[in-house]
Amino acid sequence: MKIASFNINGIKARLPRLLEWLEETRPAVACLQEIKTQDEGFPAEEFEKIGYHAVWHGQKGFNGVAILADGVAPVEMQRGLPGDDSDEQARYLEAEVNGVRVCNLYLPNGNPQPGPKFDYKLAWMERLRTRCRQHLAGEMPTVVLGDFNVIPGDRDVWSVRAMENDALMQPQSRDAYARLLADGWTDAIATLNPRGGVWTYWDYQAGAWQRDHGFRIDHLLLSPDCADRLVAAGVDKDHRGREKASDHAPVWVELKD
């Protein structure tokens, strides 16, 4: 089964491109981030028309995540990241699809750093690690995927110097990501591309796409039983170059059935 993640940067603005991508690549599960709509505005019927059922967790104006499944209804298991009752941001949604637990996340950006937004990011990452450890202790095959807003290493960015002060690649952000992985998760794209040079995001500004000035922040993490089933993983890079594209490209992993 193919499981994909796509930060779409606004579901209303992106709907034609999103439907096109789903029909062309037909993932069994598609996790979306930055839907930027309230629950009432989510266009579920547009996905139903092409055979996808959805669960979603929206918020007015920004954030928001959704999980789509081909021909089967995802069974929602968790809405919002546990660990802080005061956190109102719609950044996390879990569902079970065909025996696999899918954890879809939109991790806080954290800029500017230092500051309260960076503190929120790091605290969020600790909460995520706690949640993920619980999953590793359980029985269900699990994939944790989405926009992590972390550049894991220097080989994951076009220019270390250009990004050195960014929250996405501060040592604290990288250490938190490394600690999460060390608990037992496999970064699918990194495992299959050990030399790096794979980007999932290109800024709209400064001709970043045309110059291939990108970095890798969208990740697919596999529990050990899913890692044993890893067949392939990749980036649908050509979708970033289309008319009215998101600033992220879709990423995906193929698991043996």
Partner DNA sequence: ATGACTGCCTCTGGCAGA
H-assigned helices in the chain: 11-25, 44-49, 116-137, 160-163, 171-182, 188-192, 224-227
43/82 with CB nearer DNA:
43
State the DSSP string of 52-115: EEEEEE--SSS--EEEEEESS--EEEEES-SS-TT-----EEEEEETTEEEEEEE-----SSSS
CA distances from 75 to 99, 100, 101, 162, 231 (A): 10, 10, 9, 42, 25
Residue 203 or 228 with smaller CB distance to DNA: 203
Q: How far is the CB of 138 from DNA (least distance, A)?
A: 29
Residue pair 134/142 in contact (Cβ under 8 Å)? The answer is: no
Q: Of 85, 161, 194, 205, which lies in the binding site for DNA, with binding defined by CB under 7 A?
A: 205
Task: Please say which residue, 133 or 242, places its beta carbon nearer to DNA.
Answer: 242
Q: Under a CB-based contact definition with an 8 Å cutoff, are residues 230 and 3 in contact?
A: no
Question: Which range in 19-27, 65-73, 129-137, 240-248 contacts DNA by CB under 7 A?
Answer: 240-248
Token look-up 């503190």 returns 119
Q: Are 200 and 235 in contact (CB under 8 A)?
A: yes
Residues 139-198 that bind DNA (CB under 7 A): 147, 149, 166, 168
Choice from 45, 244, 256, 257 touching DNA (CB under 7 A): 244
Catalytic residue among 52, 106, 177, 201: 106
Q: Which residue has the tokens 């230092």?
A: 114
Known catalytic residue at 106: yes
User: Which of 63, 113, 173, 186 touches DNA by CB under 7 A?
Assistant: 63
Cα–Cα distance, 219 to 229 (Å, whole number) = 17
Active site residue 147: yes
Q: Which stretch binds DNA (CB under 7 A): 6-14, 23-31, 45-53, 229-237?
A: 6-14
Which of 50, 62, 138, 154 is close enough to bind DNA by CB under 7 A?
A: 62
Residues with catalytic roles? 106, 147
Residues that bind DNA (CB under 7 A): 7, 9-14, 34, 36-38, 41, 60-63, 108-109, 111-112, 117, 147, 149, 166, 168, 201, 203-206, 215, 217, 244, 247-248
